[in-house]
Amino acid sequence: MGPVELLHMSVFSQSFSPCGRFLAAGNNYGEIALFSLAAALSPDATPANQKPVLTFTAHEGPVFSLLSTDCVLLSAGNGEISAWNWAELTKKNVKPLWTKRPNYKSGLEIPEINSMVINPRDNSLAIGAGDNNVHILDLEHGAFKATLQGHTDYVHCVCVREREAELLSGGEDGAVRMWDSRTGQCVHCVEVYKYESCARPQYGKWISCVTTDSDWMVRRHVTLCELLAAGPRRVNLLLLVVFTC
């Protein structure tokens, strides 16, 4: 990669290997770079140690999302997901185990895949996509089994609330939707931008990131200091919504 490409490169995604020894990073050129953390973080590290030990092209467009499992690295780009064996990558053998595409409405439609999360309850992969939908891939059988519809704009982020068998998604439309992962039905929708204390009109209403634990906390506005002060107090659900410009 030349100096011009390096100057205009953006890193969209990153994920640690299951062993914790490597970091994978995906960029806007469709490349995945693999870094050795032991070498890069060594007290005697040189600039050469901080460069990738492996770089390969994974997708034709940007690598928007990376996710590691116990055995594979999942990468997502424009309209497709690929799986790479971690053991082979560490040996510098680059060959995808498989590549899947969700069932889009049109064959000409190539929406980006912005976020992925694994639901351990049914060994499925939830995918937040640019076609306004959340697609569910059955990892055991390698087939898409459901499409969750309800967002009116791009889906930017997905996460799983394991204990309650719920999936959460946030999108460009400013809504956080909660889905019953067993039925695929939306059980609740929070339009965050409609709450004055949460609205950020100068940045828009879109949700860039959402995360949850097994409890629920209903607050008008929650700061980091307030979360830390709450300590071990148990409430019904903790929902953290992050806005970025």
Q: Domains of the chain (ranges plus CATH)?
A: 1-100 (2.40.128.630)
* Number of residues assigned to the chain: 245
Q: Is residue 110 over pLDDT 70?
A: yes
Task: State the residue for tokens 């690929």.
Answer: 82
Residue-wise pLDDT tens digits, 82-94? 999 999 999 999 9
pLDDT category of residue 214 using cuts at 50, 70 and 90: low
Tell me the C-alpha distance between 149 and 185, whole Å: 9
Residue of higher predicted confidence among 33 and 196: 33
Tell me the C-alpha distance between 31 and 25, whole Å: 8
Q: Is residue 229 over pLDDT 70?
A: no
Q: Count Cβ atoms below 10 Å from residue 196 Cβ, excluding itself.
A: 8
Q: Is residue 57 over pLDDT 90?
A: yes
pLDDT category of residue 3 using cuts at 50, 70 and 90: low
Q: Is residue 60 over pLDDT 50?
A: yes
Residue of higher predicted confidence among 145 and 110: 145
CA 51, distance to chain mean position in Å, is: 24
CA distances to 61, 134, 199, 217, 241 from 131, rounded to whole Å, are: 16, 9, 25, 30, 22
Beta-carbon contacts of 87 under 8 Å, excluding residues fewer than 6 positions away, are: 71
SS3 content of the chain, % helix, strand, coil (to 5): 10, 40, 45
Indicate yes or no: pTM above 0.85: no
Task: State the residue for tokens 């990131």.
Answer: 209
Q: What is the mean pLDDT of residues 187-209?
A: 84
Tell me the C-alpha distance between 9 and 228, whole Å: 36
pLDDT category of residue 216 using cuts at 50, 70 and 90: low
pLDDT category of residue 207 using cuts at 50, 70 and 90: confident
Lay out the sheet containing 72-76: strands in order across.
Answer: 65-68, 72-76, 81-85, 98-100
